[in-house]
Amino acid sequence: MPYRVNPDRNVPWNTLPELPIDKHLYEDVEIYSQLGNAKAALGRLQGRSIVIPNQGLLINSISLQEAKASSAIENIFTTDDELYQAYSEEQIQQLNGPSKEVLYYREALWEGYMYLKEEQVFDENYFVKMYRIVSQFNDGIRTPIAQIVIKEGGTGPNSGKVSYTPPRGKGVVEAKLNNLIEFLNDDKTYPIDSLLKMAIGHFQFEAIHPFRDGNGRTGRIFNIHYLTKKGLLDYPILFLSRYIMDHKEDYYAGLAGVTQRGSWKNWLLYILKAVEVTSNITYDKINDIVSAKDAILKAIIEDTDIARPESLVNAIFTQPYTRVKHLVGGNIYAENTARKYLDQLTDMGVLEKRVIGKGNYYLNLELYRILSE
């Protein structure tokens, strides 16, 4: 049977169909072909990442870039410099501006990852937890009195006009979210490929729009967590929002296409292509980071008398900006030794020393270049 679309964008879509969607909407040669490409690229990324001795080198750096891109989709912009400096401070509450918002997104990536490791299932608490972190509000599922509508952005002729009105009413949002949660958790009743289920689940979450704010960021965090929950990635290191940011208009057009025309094929192809492309981007970044790390370690061993060079290199590749306190707090070196070694790497051209305010920050030039490309 055909998919029941939203008949009036100005009226709450309380008839949003429950999951699962009918098989004919995704059993398609082109969709399955793109699914194969996405799974191959994701599998290659997973295979590459698991053989890296210290995955912490990737986790911090790539998750920061995912957080930055996803926040930019919501017009929360920050520069790489601002973001990395803010992250090196380690105290989000003391920060201001866009960098703070981005770091809350990164915090949600890790809090949700650990939550699912412990609870083993998606539930309402998971989604509320993610929403509260990214939005910094303390409420939960929006109440029926919240007159939420989605309006067209930009400066075109339709700017400011209502493009979508999500479900609303007593118990309506909760019921639809519970249906989504059951669909995500029950693979026996709903035996759909995990990547297709992620794409379907992401649309459904955005259509339900269960919170007053932060639905886009929460939905994109869910994408990464679903992949780790299903064992397709060990850690949340896929730079998925990069593709969405680069093809932002297509992302919103895809959501609207399902809502208004039942065009599931275009939406599924879009998300599967995003997985393929960003898996390849992340794979290349991992290789570049590992190569840079190995080259720098080799130079330090051959040209200096620095003690415990592996620990030092691991530290400077954990995040772009390193401070003396990071090495001291990590019990790697005493303060004077840490400062001496960081200055030594600066003289070698590995780091660039920047004085910001009253503090010294040491920028890993190669890591910064790789992440900024």
> 């989504």: which residue's tokens?
180
Would 5 be classed as within a structural domain?
A: no
Contact status, residue 110 vs residue 179, Cβ threshold 8 Å: no
Query: Do 339 and 278 have their domain in common?
Result: no
Residue 207 has which token pair? 């259509």
pLDDT at 120: 96
pLDDT at 293: 92
Contact status, residue 326 vs residue 314, Cβ threshold 8 Å: no
Q: How far is residue 178's CA from residue 168's CA, in Å, rounded to a whole number? A: 15
Query: Do 152 and 219 have their domain in common?
Result: yes
Output the domain CATH number for residue 188: 1.10.3290.10
Query: Do 257 and 314 have their domain in common?
Result: no
Would 266 be classed as within a structural domain?
A: yes
pLDDT at 77: 47
How many domains does the chain contain in total?
A: 2
pLDDT at 167: 96
CA dihedral 241, 239, 268, 223 (to 10 degrees): -80
- For the question of whether the overall pTM of this predicted structure is more than 0.85, the answer is yes
Q: Residue 362: phi, psi to the nearest 5?
A: -110, 115
Q: How far is residue 292's CA from residue 245's CA, in Å, rounded to a whole number? A: 27
Mean pLDDT by 10 residues, the chain (373 residues): 90 97 97 98 90 64 66 57 57 57 82 96 98 93 92 74 94 98 98 98 98 93 95 87 89 95 98 96 89 96 96 90 90 96 97 86 91 80
* Surface-to-core class of residue 7, CB atoms within 10 Å of its CB (0-12 exposed, 13-18 middle, 19+ buried): exposed
Would 292 be classed as within a structural domain?
A: no
| C-alpha 317: how far from chain center | 20
Would 317 be classed as within a structural domain?
A: yes
Which residue range forms the structural domain that includes residue 352?
304-372
Query: Do 367 and 224 have their domain in common?
Result: no
Query: Do 164 and 101 have their domain in common?
Result: yes
Output the domain CATH number for residue 321: 1.10.10.10
pLDDT at 76: 52
Q: Point out which residues pair with 162 in neighbouring strands.
A: 151
Query: Do 262 and 339 have their domain in common?
Result: no
Query: Do 262 and 360 have their domain in common?
Result: no
Q: Which residues, including other chains, have CB under 8 Å from residue 37's CB and lie 6 or more apart?
A: 272, 276
Would 342 be classed as within a structural domain?
A: yes
Q: How far is residue 157's CA from residue 258's CA, in Å, rounded to a whole number? A: 22
**CB neighbours (10 Å) of residue 215?**
24
